[in-house]
A and B are shown apart, each in its own frame.
Chain A
Amino acid sequence: MNSFTGITQASQALQAFQDALSTTGNNISNANTAGYSRETVTFGQNPETTIYSPNGPQYVGTGVNVASINRMRNMFLTAQSFSSASSIGQTNAQLAGGQQIQALFTDAGGTGISNDLTAFYNSWSSLASQPNNANLQAVQQAGSSLAGDVRNTYANLQQLSTQANGQIAQTMQQIQALGNQIAQLNSQIRTQSSGGGQPNGLLDQRDAAVQQLSSLVNVSTQTLADGTMSVNVNQFDLVDRTGAHTFPTTFNAATGTVTANGDTYNITGGQLAGNFATLNSITGAQGNLDLLANNLRTQVNSLMSTGKTVNGTTNQNFFNTSAGAIAFDLDPAVLADFKNIATGVSGNTGDTALALQIADTATQPVAALGNQTTGNFYNSMVTGVGQQVASATSTLSTQQAVATQIQNQIQSISGVSVDEEMSHMVQYQRSYQAAAETLNIVNSTLTDLMNILH
């Protein structure tokens, strides 16, 4: 204990309160920074010194220090937040994809393939009942409309498929970029925390990067002793002590996996999983259209080819014989001339037995279509697409409510309350004033002392 202890004490207090004010100021500045965790200051007492007293050594404190600057963050809530981001990322991507697919089926508006199918079968009924040129042409046109709409919907789905593949590639690029970012932050954090302190800003940045990554793909993280956060995607090590690894770009949407070096990893969450699901839905819808086209061919061609037209042509198909929906159309001869449509086997104008049979296939269940009529098969498909969107919408709503709850809890712990910080500022400011006043008084006592010795 010496004459200048008082000055040292006061100036240390000034420094401590100055640091506290800085921290508070930093909190206020970052009140709107996404992912910012507020910092609090913990003061500590400096070690005491002893003074002589007749009653034994007495202890006098030597002032205050800043023991730690704490980052207010709950690890458990942070992990929940990552997991919730994955769920929402997945559902969002599925919903967006589902809505795009749904928009291609215009049946809610009264036009579309459902209407075309009914109109097609009805045109055959009309022809079967009143066999004239007008009705032959009507059958030709109804068939052409139906085939055209099936073909166009398939082509639109193909476009969506290309987009979905592009989306997947983009998502993977973003995953890689974030992995690299996290690896960089890891090395900075390792350097800075080797001295013992916590680089709060960097930690916040890393958490924000992992949050973003979680929305893209399901991750699990582990913080190691040296400050590294290792990130893996279902056993694929994206980031570890050595840095970031290359995320596999070979994928199989049907099984929801990515492959690298012969190893397969499951993708179970995040936007990437949603993108895979969308791609699967598109492929499924295309497959259904293929089934529809092929079975229409079988239904109609097998009957009409046994007939004879009024001009004597036999063995004439109504639809062309390519495979699937992609090039589904009328047979070129029928497209060119509606008189190539046969209504019966005899070639007589009034013989419409085949036309009647074809009209009646509207109500015949087809084994390959799950024992449904072509109309019901298509209607089921459209309903299924709608069901996916409806259920994704509802799931998203629930997941968002959960995410909001988690965010509120995180905010409650880590969020900056400007009012609270301002009251801290008043507190530290007053303390600073008091410490400054202390310094002032100590200074005048020293001055007095100096004057005595003068």
Chain B
Amino acid sequence: MPACMRTIAGIICALLIAGPAAAAAADKGLTVKGVRYFTYPGFTRIVFETEEAAPYVLTRSSDGKTLYFSSYGGPFVLRSPQLPSINDGVVKGMELRQERDHRSIIITLGPAAGDAKDFVLRGPDRIVVDVLRGAAAAVAPEAPAAKAPVVVIDAGHGGMETGIVTGQGVEKTLTLDLANAVRKLLKKSSVKMTVLLTREQDKPMTLDERAAFANAAGAVLFVSLHAATGQDARVFILDPDEGQASPSPGGPSDFQGYDAMSEQQQMLWGTQQARHAQESGRFGRGMARVLTASEAAEPEQAPLAQLKAVDSAAVLIETGMTMNRGKTAEVIAAEIVQYVSEKR
């Protein structure tokens, strides 16, 4: 481990373990079964699921840009086949590093990262690392001071994930073009709103990152744009069976005011859309009717991975690749304007 780093936490967690038992636990090392992360407006939470409570070390490099997570003694085993891909501004990425006989997980922090705190939860055993969003980055950079409603337009696919490829084009490019066209029209609208794109260029983004982006921006509406062959448009909303009701608040809170009992944030992630089903359905119905020019059109319900974690009204629009893109953008923008004006 580099000597330049300073220890911010060298926790002999083991919780109730003390004395010789602690030494024995240290010898056994630390086995991580899985790694998950959650992006919240104020911080990013990384959860290491461990096989059992064991001592660990979390240190931060002297330049403050990296966290090192490893066992306190004994082997450090990572059973998870892969580490999650994080890039939410607070955390830039994670990787497993082997230096001689020492293994550790390197957490690269982003420009928005502030302090890091860690704690242990039991049943099942977890080590939680919270990287706080720094004061300078507390406000989303693109969000203006005025509290205009935020609309997030998501250009589907990106990077290596091209989406479908036809003679009319590549889906990732068409969706980005359409997203830009919709944003341009919305900015001209008399109804004040902040329009954010999940991606401005051809880059990969996970579905969770897109949802986290919208949630962190406090979006009132999330519109994901996709494309399909042909000239028909379809509007999808989340299958109502997807996601259960959110856990009721009121349990014991951790130091940040988030429910710490049984780590309910974990249950919350992926179920956020359930409480917006009605709004999504209403917006989706309106969008389906204008896009298909049919008063009987209804949005299609599907278990969409992309929408389940979005904490606002959310739809996925699939436009035909041969549709007139300019007109399609106008129709989508007009429906968004109407929705936002009704919400105000």
Q: Does B associate with A? A: no
* Chain B positions near chain A (C-beta within 8 angstroms): none
